[in-house]
Amino acid sequence: MIRIVDGDTMRLHVADISIDPQSGKAYTADSNANLYEIDLENGTAQHLSQSNVGGGGYGAGYFDPNGNLYLGRNHDGRIFRVAVGAGDYQLKEFAVGPASGVNDGWRCATAPVEMIAETKVDFGDAPNSYGTALDDNGARHGLDADPGLFLGAAVDGESDAFAHPLSDDAADKLDDDDGVQFATNVVEGQNTVVIVEASKPGFLNAWIDLDRNGQFDDDEQVSYNYYLNQGKQSLHMFIPGGVVEGDSWSRFRVSSIPNVGPTGGVPDGEVEDHPVKLVEQAATVTYYPGADGWTTLAFEDNWPIEGDYDMNDLVVYMRTAQHRKDAGLTRVDIKAEIAAVGAAYHNGFAIRLPGVKRSQVNLDKMELQINGKPVTAFQPLEEGRDEAIVIVSYNMWDYVGAGELCMFYRTEPECGSDIQMNFKASIPFNEPVQAEVGSLLDPFLFATPGAWHGGHFFTAPGRSYEIHLKNQEPTEAFDTALFEMEGDDASMPEEGHYFQTAKGMPWALEIGTRWDYPIEYHDINHAYSLFQGFAQSNGQQNSFWYDRNQSNPELIFKN
Residue 235 clears pLDDT 90, i.e. is over it: yes
Q: Provide the pLDDT for residue 171.
A: 52
pLDDT digits (tens, 9 = 90+) for 39-60: 877 778 888 887 777 777 776 7
Distance, in Å, from the CA atom of 69 to the CA atom of 19, rounded to the nearest integer, reads 9
Q: How far is 367 from 246, CA to CA, in rounded Å? A: 10
> What would the 3-class secondary structure string for 357-385 be?
EHHHECCCCCEEEECCEECCCCCCECCCC
The confidence score (pLDDT) of residue 1 equals: 44
Confidence (pLDDT) at 75: 75
Q: Which range among 272-286, 402-416, 427-441, 493-507 shows the weakest confidence by mean pLDDT? A: 272-286
Helix (H) or strand (E) holding 533: helix 531-536
- pLDDT-derived band at 61 (thresholds 50, 70, 90) equals confident
pLDDT for the residue 165: 80
Looking at 141-250, list the stretches that DSSP marks H as alpha helix, in order from N- to C-terminal side.
Answer: 168-172
| Banded pLDDT at 103 (limits 50, 70, 90) | low
Listed as own residue / partner, the contacts of 530-535 with beta carbons closer than 8 Å and 24 or more positions apart are: 532/505, 535/470, 535/503, 535/504, 535/505, 535/506
Question: Which pLDDT band holds residue 98 (cuts at 50, 70, 90)?
Answer: low
Asked if pLDDT for residue 124 goes beyond 60, the answer is: yes
Paired strand residues for 338: 316
pLDDT value at 308 more than 80: yes
| pLDDT of the residue at 95 | 79
What's the pTM? 0.68
DSSP lists the bridge partners of residue 70 as 62, 81
d(Cα 352, Cα 350) in Å, to the nearest integer?
7
pLDDT band for position 64 (cuts 50, 70, 90): confident
Residue 404 has pLDDT above 80, yes or no: yes
Q: What is the mean pLDDT of residues 424-447?
A: 95
Whole-Å CA distances, 229 to 202, 235, 254? 7, 12, 11
Residue 14 has pLDDT above 80, yes or no: no
pLDDT at 464 over 70: yes
* DSSP string over 6-34: TS-EE---GGG-EE-TTT--EEEE-TT-E
Fold for the domain defined by 2-96: Thrombin, subunit H (2.40.10)
Confidence at residue 117, expressed as pLDDT on a 0 to 100 scale: 46
Closest CA to 150 of 160, 159, 142, 161: 142
Percentage with pLDDT > 90 across the chain: 63
Note the pLDDT of residue 63.
82
> Which helix (H) or strand (E) element contains residue 527?
helix 524-527
Q: Is 134 left (phi over 0), alpha (psi -120 to 50) or beta?
A: alpha
Side by side, the strands of the sheet bearing 466-467 are 387-393, 347-357, 442-447, 466-467
Q: What are phi and psi of 324, to 5 degrees?
A: -130, 150
Where are the domains positioned within the chain?
Answer: 2-96, 118-279, 285-555
135 — phi, psi (to 5°)? Answer: -60, -25
Residues 269 and 201: beta-carbon distance below 8 Å: no
| Mean pLDDT across 254-273 | 93
**Beta-sheet strand order (sheet of 202-208):** 186-187, 270-279, 246-255, 202-208, 221-228
pLDDT at 175: 67
Which of 118-122, 155-159, 225-229, 429-433 has the least mean pLDDT? 118-122
Mean pLDDT of the chain: 88
CATH architecture of 118-279: Sandwich (2.60)
- Residue pair 509/469 in contact (Cβ under 8 Å)? The answer is yes
Using alpha carbons only, what angle is made at residue 334 by residues 173 and 251, rounded to the nearest 5 degrees?
A: 50
CA distances from 264 to 62, 94, 96 (A): 18, 5, 8
Is 90 exceeded by the pLDDT of residue 20? no
Residue 168's pLDDT is: 54
Minimum mean pLDDT range among 34-38, 267-271, 378-382, 546-550: 34-38
SS3 (DSSP) at 169 = helix
CA atoms within 13 A on the CB side of 413: 6
Q: How confident is the model at residue 111 (pLDDT cuts 50, 70, 90)?
A: very low
- How far apart (Å, rounded) are the C-alpha atoms in residues 255 and 258? 7
**For a pLDDT cut of 70, what percent of the chain falls above it?**
91
Residue 156 and residue 174 in contact, taking contact as beta carbons nearer than 8 Å: yes
Sheet of 191-198: strand order equals 180-182, 191-198, 231-238
Q: In the predicted model, is pLDDT for residue 159 greater than 50?
A: yes
Beta partners for residue 369, in sequence order:
374, 424
Model confidence at 113: pLDDT above 80: no
Q: What is the pLDDT of residues 328-349, one digit of tens each?
A: 999 999 999 999 999 999 999 9
Per-residue pLDDT for 90 more than 90? no
More confident residue, 85 or 496: 496
Exposure b/e, 34-46, CB count within 10 A at least 16 = b: bbbbbeeeeeebe
What are 393-403's pLDDT values in tens digits?
999 999 999 98
Q: In terms of pLDDT, which residue wins out, 52 or 134? A: 134
pLDDT for position 102:
55
- Where residue 110 falls among pLDDT bands split at 50, 70, 90? very low
What secondary structure letter does DSSP report for 202?
Answer: E
